[in-house]
Structure 1
Amino acid sequence: MQRPLIKYCGNKSFEDLQVVAKSEADYIGFIFANSKRKVTPIEVKQWLQEVDIQDKKTVGVFVNADFEEIAAVLANVPLSVIQCHGTETVDFIHLVKEQTGLDVWKVLHHDNQAIGLMKQYSGVADGYVVDTKVATMWGGSGVTFDWQSIPIYQQEANRQGVPCFIAGGIDASNIKTLLSYDIGGVDISSGIEQDGKKEYTIIQTIEKWVDTCVERTK
């Protein structure tokens, strides 16, 4: 299997960013929507000026934001990817891409309608994150969904030629099971935290499993 892309999301402090900057992550996520991990554009701007994230790309997470809100963040933060985590339409995704020139990922909440939605965004979304559907929460629940459905999502993402990240309840205790599926990427937030802070030893354990699984399949 190819090494899955790694995204560590929900970085909510200077210290979190310092920890994740040392990791093997491909993407570092910041949440600009209502969440216990919400950050402000000014905070993130200051952190990125002081922490060398090397070649890692930055992802801004938004939930049903209007374009002006996204633009206000971009005025301060050099994002690489816009992640839309709400009920954003195909037309809105297209608008954001057109106006910003950035990749836009769409989050899908796993249920029996998700694969149909994924097909609707075909040719517009530059990537997907499949997360657990939990009442009253858009994400960050720490709950897994039925991973037996992963191949269906991955097959559609492959058809579209875009990455598909798996999110929701991934941590050091179950990453090995997740990696038994041929996934395009992992998106982890609470699963790399201890006492609400990003923890490097947990990250090392997760990345060891990723590297081991890739080596075994070479």
Structure 2
Amino acid sequence: MQRPLIKYCGNKSCEDVQVVSQSRADYIGFIFANSKRKVNPDEVKQWLQEVDLHGKQTVGIFVNANFEEIETVLEIVPLAIIQCHGTESVDYIKQVKKRTMKNVWKVIHHADQALETMKEFAGIVDGYVVDTKVANMWGGSGVSFNWEAIPLYHQEARSQGVPCFIAGGIDSKNIERLLSYNIDGFDVSSGIEHQGKKDQTIIHTIQKRVDEYVERT
């Protein structure tokens, strides 16, 4: 098994960025939508000037944002990827890609029609994040969906030729079970936190378990 791609999301302080910058994550995420982890673009700009990300790509998370909101953030923060986490339409995603010239990931919330929704974005988005939908929350709930559905999502993403990240309720205790689904990547926020801060020890434990699993398989 190849090592899955790793995204550590919801970084909300320079300290968080420093901790994640020392990890083996491929992507570092910042939330610009209403959330307890929402950040200010000017602050993120400052953190990125102070911390060497060691090649990690920056991901900005937006929920049903207007185009001007995204463009304003891009003027301040050097985002590599825009992640649309709401109920954005196919036409909306096309416009975001056209206006920003950035790669766009679409979050698919696990539900009865989720796979059909995913198919609508074929050939348009550059990646998917499958997450749990919890009432009054778009993500970051720390709740897992039924992982038995993962192979269906991955099959669809691979047929489209794009990566599919799994999010929601992932932590050091269940990461090995998640890896058994031969995932493309995983996206963690609350699962690498202790008292609301990114925790180097937890991250190290997750990465160690990933390495051990990959070596065994």
Q: Is TM (by shorter chain) over 0.5?
A: yes
* Counterpart position of 1:207: 207
Deviation track 1:129-176 (CA, whole Å, cap 9, x = no partner) reads 000111111001100000000000000000000000000000001101
Structure 2 Cα separation of the partners of residues 2 and 159 of structure 1? 18
* Counterpart position of 2:35: 35
Amino acid of the structure 2 residue aligned with 1:87: T
Matches for 1:3-22 after TM superposition, within 5 Å: 3-22=3-22
- Structure 1 stretches of 4+ moved >3 Å: none
Q: Secondary structure at the match of 2:76?
A: coil
Structure 2 Cα separation of the partners of residues 98 and 213 of structure 1? 40
Cα deviation for residue 29 of structure 1 reads 0.1
* Counterpart position of 1:157: 157
Matches for 1:85-164 after TM superposition, within 5 Å: 85-164=85-164
Identity over the aligned pairs, expressed in percent?
Answer: 70
Cα deviation for residue 55 of structure 1 reads 0.6
Deviation track 1:159-218 (CA, whole Å, cap 9, x = no partner) reads 00000000000000110110111101100000000000000000000011111111112x
Q: Secondary structure at the match of 1:169?
A: coil
Q: How many residues end up aligned between the 2 structures?
A: 217
* Counterpart position of 1:184: 184
Amino acid of the structure 2 residue aligned with 1:3: R
Matches for 1:161-172 after TM superposition, within 5 Å: 161-172=161-172
Residue 59 (str. 1) matches residue 46 (str. 2): no
Q: Which residues of structure 1 form unaligned runs of 5+? A: none
Residue 196 (str. 1) matches residue 196 (str. 2): yes
Q: Secondary structure at the match of 1:28?
A: strand
Deviation track 1:19-67 (CA, whole Å, cap 9, x = no partner) reads 0000000000000000000001000000000000011000000000011
Q: What is the TM-score normalised by the length of structure 1? A: 0.99
Cα deviation for residue 91 of structure 1 reads 0.7
Deviation track 1:59-111 (CA, whole Å, cap 9, x = no partner) reads 00000001100000000000000000000011111111111111100001101
Q: Secondary structure at the match of 2:78?
A: coil
Q: Secondary structure at the match of 1:75?
A: helix
Q: Which residues of structure 2 form unaligned runs of 5+? A: none
- Computed over aligned residues only, the root mean square deviation of the Cα atoms, in angstroms, reads 0.5
Amino acid of the structure 1 residue aligned with 2:214: V
Q: What is the TM-score normalised by the length of structure 2? A: 0.99
Q: Secondary structure at the match of 1:59?
A: strand
